[in-house]
Amino acid sequence: DDVDRAYFAVFDGHGGVDAANYSATHLHVNLGLHEEIVKNPAEALKCSFQKTDEMFLFRAKREKLRSGTTGVSALIVGNKLHIAWLGDSQVMLVQQGKAVTLMEPHKPERE
């Protein structure tokens, strides 16, 4: 279609790099193939995070991997910004020199 899109992501491995590398390799593919990417990018991001997690858990069980990852991604669709994250990764937007809070990180003490 004629809509400009851009995708960015950062993963921070915990207990090794396996989960972070896996996520970096597969999340954008799952997102690009998701049926809602055009109509509902936010839902596509959420589902793609979940699918990537399920895929890695299957591999981790099979190969006895013990790492995890936090992650944050940004998907720009036209003039809209969609943010998805898991764990305590954070994103900051600076607009006209001022920080704009986009999210509250997942922390153990947060309900």
**Is pLDDT of 110 > 90?**
no
**Is pLDDT of 36 > 90?**
yes
User: Which residues, including other chains, have CB under 8 Å from residue 83's CB and lie 6 or more apart?
Assistant: 72, 73, 74, 75, 91, 102, 103
Report the chain's mean pLDDT, rounded to a whole number.
92
Q: Which CATH superfamily is domain 5-101 in?
A: PPM-type phosphatase domain (3.60.40.10)
What does the pLDDT look like over 53-66, one tens digit per residue?
A: 999 999 999 999 99
pLDDT (0 to 100) of residue 38: 92
Provide the residue ranges of all domains of the chain, joining segments of one domain with +. Answer: 5-101
What does the pLDDT look like over 57-95, one tens digit per residue?
A: 999 999 999 999 999 999 999 999 999 988 888 888 999
pLDDT (0 to 100) of residue 105: 75
In whole angstroms, what is the distance from residue 93 CA to residue 91 CA?
Answer: 7
Compute and round to an integer the Cα radius of gyration of the chain.
15
46-77 CB burial, b ≥16 within 10 A, e <16? ebbbebbbeebeeebeeeebebbbbbbbbbeb
Q: Which residue has the higher pLDDT, 91 or 31?
A: 31
